Structure 1
Amino acid sequence: MAACGLDEKLFTYLLERAAAPDEATRPLAAMLARAAGMRLSLERLGWPRAALDRLLARCFPGAAAASLRTALEHAPREFPREAEEIPDLVVLLLEHAAVRDETTLWLARAVALACLGEQHLWQDMRLPHRAALTTLLGQYFPSLVRRNTQDMKWKRFLYKQLCEKEAIACRAPQCTACEDYRDCFGPETVPESVGVC
């Protein structure tokens, strides 16, 4: 399995066959590559095959749909507990969607699945920098971006929003009372020793 659960070869394969390898397409390619790398069945996550076929036809027309479906249909030996949060994250994102269309739905799924990664969300979505993620989220989920008034890291911010919505204790920091406050707010930097998945 590739580092961080991302199938690097599949990611490259998809980008090479993308209709437009832009900052909206890259996260979708990363989502499919992560699902394959983690052996997560998209159908098991509630994402129907017909929708996958439409996504491939629209965004990755040069990809062999049948072989990609095969790569995504292998169920994991044990479904990761953290993957159970993906549908809740998708619902949270869609509550803040500017437009509810299929592209927005797939991007919400891409964000949610990238939250399982081990790096900053912008890295796990294969974007060039944090500002690109903020721009993308602002375009598709503008009211969510407006809520992040203290520039909290996106992955932690999303989990904090999810926990507040569910009114449960959260793994996201309680901010001002937390000793990791500086790790969660302000500019993100990437140590030289840390590469992108």
Structure 2
Amino acid sequence: MVVRFLPVGGPERKAPVPPRDNLAEVVELRSRLVPEETPDAEPAPDLGDPREQAMRRLARSAQSVTEIERFLRGKGHQPEAIEPVVREFLDRGYLDDLALAKAQTGILRERKRMSTRIIERTLNERGIPREFIGIALAEFDPEGDDEDRVLREAARDRARKMGSLDRATAERRLIAFLARRGFGGSSVRDIAREALDEAAR
């Protein structure tokens, strides 16, 4: 048999529940004692010196203003960092779109025997203003009739290297070669045949 003794004072009473009005105050106090953890801000990436990067780029090859701007943007630099570099390089003559247009026109026209259409497209892709492209082309072709000369020279130069091919194959490859340099029209086939005849002699 189990005997249970009741506390003096009558039936069992529950301990008094403290008022809940002060709970918010306790929560607020704890929040002050334990500060919230905040993630550390990531440091800004080191993009490097845009001027030094541009100088190294120019040391490898001549660049247009547009090409340098594209290059520095690709490195992550913002316009406010790029513009001073471009202004300085223009003032110092490190960047000169007109001189670049003339130099590239000479290479593409006289050494690689490219057509005017290919030269225009190439310089335009490099971001050189159309005004400078026009000046450069006019300097190398002041009369506007230089295209036929370049076409014939390109055909003769290439035909000399096709002596081991049969005539049909040589003609087909020569026409394709001239087309890749931007030459087209009905005269291309006739000039290709003339060049092959001359090489055969």
Asked if Structure 1 and Structure 2 have the same fold, meaning a TM-score greater than 0.5 normalized by the shorter chain, the answer is no
Q: Which has the larger radius of gyration?
A: 2
Query: Larger RCO: Structure 1 or Structure 2 (Cα < 8 Å, ≥ 6 residues apart)?
Result: 1
Please state which structure has a larger fraction of its residues in helix. Answer: 2
Normalised by the size of structure 2, how large is the TM-score?
Answer: 0.27
TM-score normalised to structure 1 length? 0.27
